[in-house]
Structure formats: structure tokens, C-alpha cells
Structure 1
């Protein structure tokens, strides 16, 4: 099929029609046509030739040309597309390396196979241009709410027409058992926009916490204006949700503003979320206070926060346990998501039993190690003493303040405690040396004999071994695996060594070994402190 004058006009008409239909630049369609014609011409004249096609944007006439580049004499690799300076002199005056020689060649007669190939190239280029346009249009809409129309359902996933393209709402991103039919209107949150081989993929969600956040921003003007801030959102999609809000204006109640007159604002969000019940909670910087609010409607008696472990222990009245946990653990689970803490809930009776067990264990410790009667041991525990070190090295006055304990008795108790500690230290040092612990580790400041023994059992026997340890290997820590926090046990964790103390000890060891310059370390520490300030 030769390209006649009629065909030439049709080229431009086709390009404009396709561009209008696909909402892309007509020049991109013409460039795709040029490339397809060039590829067809190569199949006619030879694949090694550099053949280019230019379509006149006004007349639609296609110009075919063969291009050759001038290269060094010893650099010619393709004689069909390159030529030396001497060869170029036959066609050009004063040719130089890098010059381009272009000569027009007759248009090709497109056979059936070549025409089909050209069509495929054009379609491919058009698809690529359409994908680029869609991606550029939607990449800035990630994190916003979008309205669309349901087109069809594929294996439980909804394909949604969002105007200039299609988006996908996966079945695990739908709320509960909600169902849609073709042409139904739907409102979703644009969770992600990715450029993939098969085109830009727009992923929608109706279960994301951010969807609720954006809905409240639409319904509550104070949130949109920044007067009220949404600090955290936790959802059990389609069932229940908790949202924590903070007002930057003391005259505005954040909870009341979100609820609205007769609940109008929150009900608008509830209606969009298929009846999902929403608890609106005032935010508080004090985490225990915030948790008490988050566990509403349950009453909380006591809260104990472990910041290092990012865990929090909550004590509730016996009759409030089921309410605090919620149906299938829903209430405590949402509160945990809201505070980003692991929550342990126990009743007052359970806490009382635990405290009684701790009291009995400490009493038994003092009775056995200090050779005391039960009453005296209980007195020590009741006064707050938890271990032998506290008894051995506390000021004598703190013991004599106990009713019935004079100075001589207090001195005798302290002497027994110190003797027992020294005996235990000697045994620990003997065991550590038997395991191969060296004096450089034994004499290191901050390490007790029991710590050295524990390190030696774990294979840390020299100061060099100790200096190569990570802080969490000594003090323990927490890591997140598949969305769950997992405990990493530390070698020295039983000795209540904190991460900060472990970091200091390890850096001190590295400085003493000459691995780290003390002046540089001090300068870096000062810079960190200034940055924090």
C-alpha cells in the first residue's frame, strides 16, 4: 500500500481523532506514526540502515530519508549508517566527524505485514502516552478523596471509572459486605498511584484510616482550617472506629465540633462508612491520660507505662474487664492502634494477686539470704526494699526509721547483705574466669561480676568482643515483624541495663581500645544535643 495524497491527509486526520479520543497531544500520535513508518521502511531497505520519517504537520506528506553519520576512519562499525571523512567528501563540503548526511529515499510500499507492524507500533505509542498522561494527572491526587463510577467487578475487586482513567478497589479495601453494581456512584480514598508495566495503577481504599480523616476534614470546617487537628485514627472498618482530636483554640471544644449540632457532622461520616460507630476522643500529650480516654466507655483504675518496651499496663475494676476489652477484643485493639502501644489489661483482683506474689517472693529472699524472721523481712518489703543492694548500701538512717530497728540491728542487717553480695560476686568471678573471661573485661567500669559471667556464657570474653556488641544485644529491645512487636532478649537485660547505658558502655570500650577518637565523639555528642535543643 503506497502512501498517496489521500492517505497523507488521512494521517493527520487520524492523529487528531485519536488524540481527541485519548486526551493526548496530537504530536505524540504523529511521532508514533513516524516511528512506525520508519520501522516499515527498514524492513524494506535493510535493518542496518538509519532511516527516519518526517510527516509534515500541515500537508500530512511523509518524507523518508536515510541518515549517515561521519566518524573516524577506524571507528566505522556500520557501513550502512556511518561513513568516513573521505567518503563524506563525495556528498558534503568540508565534512567533520560528527556531521550528519541526510538523503531522501523513495517512500515504501507498505505490504500487509508491514502495515500491521506499523499499526502495532502506533497503538503501543498511544498506550504509553495515555499511561503517562494518566499517571501525571493522578500522582498528585494520592492522599485525597475521589468520586467515581463503578464499571465492573473482577474477582471481587471493583474497577472504578474516575474520569480520565480506571482505578481499582480491591475487595480487602471495601467495607464489610458492601456491594456495588455497575454505574453506582462511589467515593474512595486514593491510597497509592504507581507506574507499572501495564500502565499507571490507581489503588483506592474505603478501609484506610486516612479515608475517615479526609471525610472529617470535608464535614468539619474547623479541621479543614487547621483549628482542630486529628492526631490519630484507628478503625475496624464497618464496625467501630476511634479518632483522637486536639483543638488549637482553647475556646473550641474539639469533640463537640466534630459531633456537630445534634450529631449532624459525625452522622454524615457514619453514613458514608456504612454505619461504622465512631468514638471521638480528646487527645492528651500525657499517654496514660490519653489511654484512659481511649478505653472509654470502660473505667480505668490504674495505668503503668513502660516507655522502653512501648507497653502499657491497665488495671480496671473486675466488672469492667469485658467492657474494656470489648467484643472480640475490639475496644482494646482500637485503643492500642490509637496510642501505638501494646496494652495489657488486668483486673484489680489479678493485680492484687500479682502484688501479693511479689511481696512473698521478696520476703522469702530477705529471709533466706539475711537469715531474718518472716516479720522483719516483711517490714523491709513494706518499706519499699526490693533487693539486697538496696539494703546493703542504703543510708543507715533509712533502716533505723523502721519501727523497732535500732542502729545496731540496722548495721548487722547491712553487714549480712554485704557479705552475701561479696560471696556471690566471688562465685560469679570464678565462673567467668572458668568460661575464659579476660581481666580487660572483668575490670571494665560498670560491669558487675554477674554481668561478666552472663557475657562470658554468651561468648563475650574480651573487651574487644564487648566493643563489637550492639546496644540492643546487651539491653534488649523490640522489633516489628509482620506488624507485630517481637521482643529481643538482651544478655544484660536481667540486670536492668537501659539502652542508653548500653550505648555509653560500648562507646567507652571503643574509646579505650582506640577504635574511636574521644574528641570526635564528644564533638558529635555536643552537635546532637544542640540539634535536639
Structure 2
């Protein structure tokens, strides 16, 4: 077929250059979008079933339109494929996999075709611009940026960052904060992701790290790494707590963050709409850290439960409201900051609870060991809270209690062992009555009392136990009976028989 001459179109290159400059994207991406638009118009004219391709000369701007026909062994689509025999009539040297290229005359764009082409170009340019924005900002998550409010839609703020547009959602704004078009705004980039539509850069003014980054800008010692921000907890627009640590013993981290006459902290407070900020000293000791975190309240005593990650804090009666804070704000922020569950009680409440525990444990020893209240009180006073502790503690330790001798200690241990044996026998009979299988009794960590509770809750076979989750097992046997780690180990032991067949097959093969 005779080749159709294509006229130089330098204005195309000028348009491509202008769009590329304006949108900050590559010139080739604009030209590729134009080629796809011309290609689409060509297929509309000559038939969508044909493989029509367009090429714009990068030097002269001339448009070449051609129909491509692939050379194949066996034709499946006559519009886009041709056998080698037919193809060699046109080009004797052509091979399978190559293309017969038939040039087509340039298209005279009609109004509809031109509109379609424009839409394709605009869409492709928009996609390229989004990709450029994503690539530019994907590694900037965690930074603070400044921008201008472009528009506000249903409370969501669109922010112009200069070379990109970002979204500051309504729930990421500090409460009672309003912005108008043209306002300057400072925010934290908390996420950058690719999406089909809309902004890809997400901003926040409520994120805890926004406050941390503001302090890094205001306090040179933080920027230099001399002072480390260990944890931040915020109730946006109301109150915040920040734990700091100095790597230089000569520098007070709290004082450095507050600044001369509060100048540094006030700059951050002004940006956060008057949010009150408690700056506290971080400590590797959880108890000290939690006491610091509850400031300004004074703490009388703390009791840690490391397994449950829970701490009981005892405060003077007049400090209770201060420790809890308005609507629980102080204790909630302290809990977020430290990562511990905090229970607050007054000295009077703690004393009452201790007395109740003392009475309950004394009564339990009187009934189980058949002793008078004097001996029961002595045992509780020395820290014993279960019959098992009396039964299995070293005899010397028991005999060292004031008022006890070896004979009394030995008698107490004997009574404790007898009581435990009676309980185990009773529980064993109850287990059998409930139909709990013997296999469950062989699992390490499960006591006869636990077996009874399992049976009463319908867990009677290995499969029944294996089907439970760790928290479900703890709910049945009681959270004081075992730790979450022990509960998971028991369940894995119950599931072991599920995998025995698989291991056997693996070894056989």
C-alpha cells in the first residue's frame, strides 16, 4: 500500500510542552495521551475491530496513523491477524510474530471525535499528574506541611500544597476549628495512598504526632536528638500529655520543652487552639512513669499486675477528682500515654477492699484448715491467700511465722494437703459425672477444678477444647486461674492431635 504523507504539526508539540510545564509532568506522557486519543478516533472511523495505532513524531509533531496486522501460524481474528503465506505476498522476508503495517490517511477530526480526544487527553494528563503527586509525597508521610485552603466541602478542607492538593477531613480537624477559603493551614501528613479518584494525600491536625512534630520545630534539642519524645497522648483541642527523655544529664527535658517563660510550649498551644499540654519526665520504671503521667494529682501507692498490664493507683481522698480529671480525661490520657490500664481508688476505698480480702481469706483458711481465727489471721497477714500456697511452701518458711513452730507448720501443711486431696477427689467425681474425657485431664496446666468448669460449660472432648479461643477459655476457668499465654498453650496442646496425621503423611512421603 502506498504510504500517505503526514504533515508536520509543530503546534502539537507546543501544546504538549505547555501542558507538561503547567502540570509538572513529563512531555512524553502528554504526547502518549494524545496518541491514545487519536488512536481512539481512528478506531471510531475505521472500525473498533481493527488494530489502529497512532504515532506522533517527537521531533516534527507529524501524526502517523496505521493499521497493524499480526503475522500468525493460525488465524483467530481476520481483522487483526494474517497467515504467513498471505503476508509474504506483501513482504517476502516477514516472519511469524511481526506485523504488516498499513498506513492510513490523517483523520479530519469531527466535533464529536475532537471532544472525545480532548476527554482522553484530559483524563490521561490527570492520571499522570496524580501519579506525579503520589511519587513526590509517598515518602513524606510523617511530615508537617503548610498550605492554603482551596475550598471547604461539607466540613472537609481541601488544601493546596503548591504542587499537590491534599484532604483535611472534618474528623481530623481540632473541635470547633473552622477554615475559610484562602486561610493558611499547617497540618501533619498521616497517609499518602493511590486512589482511583480524589486526593491521595491525607492531612490531620488531631494526630498525636502533629503535636510531637510541632515541638520538634520549636525545640532545637528535640530536632538534634538530645531530647527524645517517648510518647504522646491527645484529647484534641482540650488537653494533651507528652513524655520526654533527655540523653544529656545536664539538660532538663521538661524545662527545655517549656522554654523561657513558657515561650516554646505556648507556640505549640497557640497552633493547637489553646490545647493544655502536660509535659512529663519519661521513666523506664512503669510505676514511676505512671505516677508522673497522672500529674498534677499526687499518688500515695501503686500496685502493678504485669501479666494483665494493669496498675492500681491509690490516691488521697482529696486528690481523686484531680487524678480522674473532668469526664475521666486525666486518667484516660495517662493510660494512653503509658500503655497500662489504670484503676484509681482512694485510700479509704483501698483500705476497705483490703479489709474485705483479709476477712474473705481468713474465713477460707478457717474452713479449709479447721483452725481458729488467730492462726488464719497470721497466715493472711504473712501474705498467704490460697490453700495451695500453704500446702507447697517450704516448711521452714511456714515455721518462721511468729507464733508457729515446726510441729504447727507441719500440721498446717498436712491439713492443707488433705483438703486439696478431698477437693480433687470431689472434682474428679464431678468431672466423670459431667462426661469430660480423661484426655483433657492429661493436658498440662489444667486442674481438676478447671475440668469441672469446662464440663459445666459443655467442653467435654479434645475437639471441644481445641475449638475455643484463648479468651473464651479464660472466661470459663477464670482470668485468675491462668494467664493468656498459658491459655493459648493449653489450646495448642488440645489441637496437637489435628496435625498428627499430617506429620505422619509428611514422614511417609
Taking structure 2 as the reference length, the TM-score comes to 0.91
Q: What residue number does 1:168 align with? A: 167
CA contact (8 A) 1:451 1:495 kept: no
The CA distance in 2 between the partners of 1:30 and 1:513, in whole Å, is: 61
Who is 1:24 aligned against?
A: 25
Partner of 2:383: 384
**Secondary structure, in 3 states, of the residue corresponding to 1:89?**
helix
Are 2:477 and 1:492 aligned? Answer: yes
1:376-399 deviations in whole A, cap 9, x for unaligned?
322222222212222333344444
How many angstroms apart in 1 are the aligned matches of 2:499 and 2:377? Answer: 50
Task: Confirm or deny: 8 A CA contact 1:167 1:204 kept in the other structure.
Answer: yes
Residue 325 of structure 1 deviates from its aligned partner by 0.9
RMSD: 2.6
Residue in 1 that maps onto 2:178: 179
d(CA) in 2 for partners of 1:355, 1:331: 26
Checking the alignment, whether the CA contact within 8 Å between 2:38 and 2:54 is kept in structure 1 is yes
2:50, 2:502 → 1: CA distance? 64
Residue 266 (structure 2) aligns with: 267
The CA deviation string for residues 147-195 of structure 1, in whole angstroms up to 9 with x for no partner, is: 1011221111111111012212122211222222221211111111121
Flag the 1:113–1:508 CA change in 2: closer, same or farther, 3 A.
closer
The CA distance in 1 between the partners of 2:416 and 2:298, in whole Å, is 43
SS at match of 2:158: strand
Query: Given the alignment of the two structures, is residue 234 of structure 1 paired with residue 236 of structure 2, yes or no?
Result: no
**Alpha carbons 2:239, 2:275 under 8 Å: kept:** yes
Instruction: Give yes or no for contact 1:48–1:78 (8 Å, CA) kept in 2.
Output: no
| Alpha-carbon separation, structure 2, partners of 1:223 and 1:516 | 58
Task: Quote the Cα distance in structure 2 between the aligned partners of 1:273 and 1:167.
Answer: 20
Q: Distance in 2 between matches of 1:42 and 1:463?
A: 68
Unaligned residue ranges in structure 2 (runs of 5+): 504-509
For residues 97 and 342 of structure 1, the distance between their equivalents in structure 2, rounded to whole angstroms, comes to 72
Q: Is the 8 A contact 2:39 2:52 kept in 1?
A: yes
Moved more, 8-17 or 498-507: 498-507
Q: Which residue of 1 aligns with 2:350?
A: 351
Instruction: Tell which deviates more after alignment, 354-363 or 107-116.
Output: 107-116
For residues 194-213 of structure 1, the aligned pairs below 5 Å read 194-213=193-212
Higher mean C-alpha displacement, 206-215 vs 52-61: 52-61
Inter-CA distance 302–427: structure 2 relative to 1 (3 Å threshold): same
Partner Cα separation in structure 2 for residue 18 and residue 445 of structure 1: 73
Q: Deviations over 1:121-168 (max 9, x none)?
A: 111111111111111122122110101011221111111111012212
Which moved further from structure 2: 111-120 or 282-291?
111-120
Instruction: Label 1:210 to 1:186 Cα distance change in 2 as closer, same or farther (>3 A).
Output: same
SS in 1 for 2:181: coil
Partner SS, residue 192 of structure 2? strand
CA contact 1:132–1:200 (8 Å) conserved in 2: no
TM-score normalised by L of structure 1: 0.87
- Pairing 1:366–2:365 present: yes
Cα distance in 1, alignment partners of residues 18 and 495 from structure 2:
72
Q: Does the C-alpha gap of structure 1 residues 231 and 517 become closer, same or farther in structure 2, counting only changes over 3 Å?
A: farther
Partner of 2:56: 55
1:191 equivalenced with 2:185 (yes/no): no
Does residue 305 of structure 2 align to residue 306 of structure 1? yes
Structure 2 match to 1:452: 451
Instruction: Give CA deviations for 1:183-229 in whole Å, capped at 9, x if unaligned.
Output: 12111111111211114421111111111111111111121121211
3-state SS of paired residue (1:158): strand
Compared CA separation, residues 319 and 82, structure 1 to 2 (3 A): same
Cα distance in 1 for residues equivalent to 2:479 and 2:207:
40
Q: 1:236 to 1:494 in 2, by over 3 A?
A: closer
Inter-CA distance 64–404: structure 2 relative to 1 (3 Å threshold): closer
Deviation at 1:101, TM superposition (A): 1.6
Q: For residues 380-439 of structure 1, give each alpha carbon's deviation from its aligned partner in whole angstroms, at most 9, with x where no partner exists.
A: 222222122223333444444444445544444433333322221111000101122233
1:149–1:505 CA distance, 2 compared to 1 (3 A): closer
2:42 maps to 41
Counterpart-to-counterpart distance in 1, 2:120 and 2:303: 68
Secondary structure of the residue aligned to 2:176 is coil
Q: 1:69 to 1:513 in 2, by over 3 A?
A: closer
Residues 331-366 of structure 1, C-alpha deviation per residue, up to 9 Å, x if partnerless? 111101101122111000000000000011111112
Shift of 1:514: 8.5
How many equivalent pairs are there? 499
Which 10-residue stretch deviates more, 147-156 or 498-507? 498-507
1:147 is matched with which residue? 146
2:249 match: secondary structure: coil
Runs of 5+ consecutive residues of structure 1 not aligned to the other structure = 477-488, 519-533
